[in-house]
Structure 1
C-alpha cells in the first residue's frame, strides 16, 4: 500500500517572543495561514499506540476539509524527525460523525482505515475511542527555496512554538535554520517529542 517517509527538521522556539520575532522576520516570505484541528483515535486496548502508530483526523478551513492520516515508526533525533505516513482527504461531514461516534471510522471509504484493519489488526469489535487533540495555527513561508512552517500549537496545558521544514537533506536545512535563528538572536532547542507525543504525555513542561 501507499506510504511515504516524512523527513522534517523540527526546532522548538523557547518563548512566545521568539515566535513573534520569527514571524516578523519571515513576513516578506509569507504564503498562507492554516488553522488545523487535530483529533486522534485508538482502540480501548491501544492497538495502534502499542505498535508505535497513531490515527489522526485533521480538520481545516473551519472544518470544511478533513484529512485522515496514519503515522507509524516515528523517530526524532537531534531535531530531525522521520516517520512513515499515509493519508488522504475524506468527507468532512462524515469525519465529524466519526468524532461523535468513532466506530463510524469503519464506514469511511478510506485506504487508511483499510490499512489499520489489515496491517495493524484493528477490528471494529474492539471499539474505537477519540483521544482528544489540539489546535494548531500554521504559518507557511517560501524561504530560500524551502517551504518553511512556523507552528503555534495550543494544548490544554500550554502552548508550544516550533519551526519545521520537510526536506530530503535535513542536515543541510538544519544548518541553514540554525544559522538564521542564531544571527537574529532567536532562542531554540531541538524538538524532543512530536506534537502527538506531547499531547499524550499531557505535561505542562513542554519540550
Structure 2
C-alpha cells in the first residue's frame, strides 16, 4: 500500500502567507546540497527564507535526531523509531515551521512527512498510510506547498555516501531496505496532482539546481497571491 498523502486536505487548513518547500529522496540523493543551493539563490534575490531539516530544527528535535540516527543508542524498534520521528516533527511544525510561514517567510525543509512514510512505513514495514496519518496528526495538517523528490539510483547514492564518510543508522541499512525506500518515493510522485515533483538528481550540483529551480519557480511566483 502506498501513502495517501497529497496536498489537498479533507478539511480547511490555515492559509499562511509564506511558502513551504520540502526536499525528499533517499540517502545520497543530494537533498541537503540542493536545499542549501535553493536557499542561497533566494537570498541573492532578497527573499525571506529559512532553511531547516528533519529530524531536528528545534532543540528537542536535534536531541531526538541524535537518538534515532547516531550509533550506540541501544536498540530502537520500528514503532519506537516512528514515534520518535513524529515527536520531532510535531515540535518542528509547531515551534518553527508554522511561525515562519505565518511571518511570510519561505521555509525550505530537508525531509518531512514523506520520509517517514518511505523509511518507517515502507522500509520498516509499518505501512505508509499509517505513518502518514500519524505525521498529519502530529503536525495538525501542516503540509508543504511543493515537495521536490530527488531521484538517483541506489548504486549512485551508495557511492555518494561512501565519499562523505561515516554512515548513520539508517544509511547503514542494507540495499534491500534502501530499495524499498526508493520505490516508495517513486510511487509518491506517480500522481501528478499530489504536489510532488520528481527531479533527476544525477549530474553536477549546479545542473540539478537548475532542474530544481524550474520545478519550484512557478510556486514562488504565486507567493503572496494565494
Judging by fraction of residues, say which structure has more helix.
2
For normalisation by structure 1, the TM-score amounts to 0.29
* Structure of higher CA gyration radius: 1
Judging by fraction of residues, say which structure has more strand.
1
For normalisation by structure 2, the TM-score amounts to 0.28
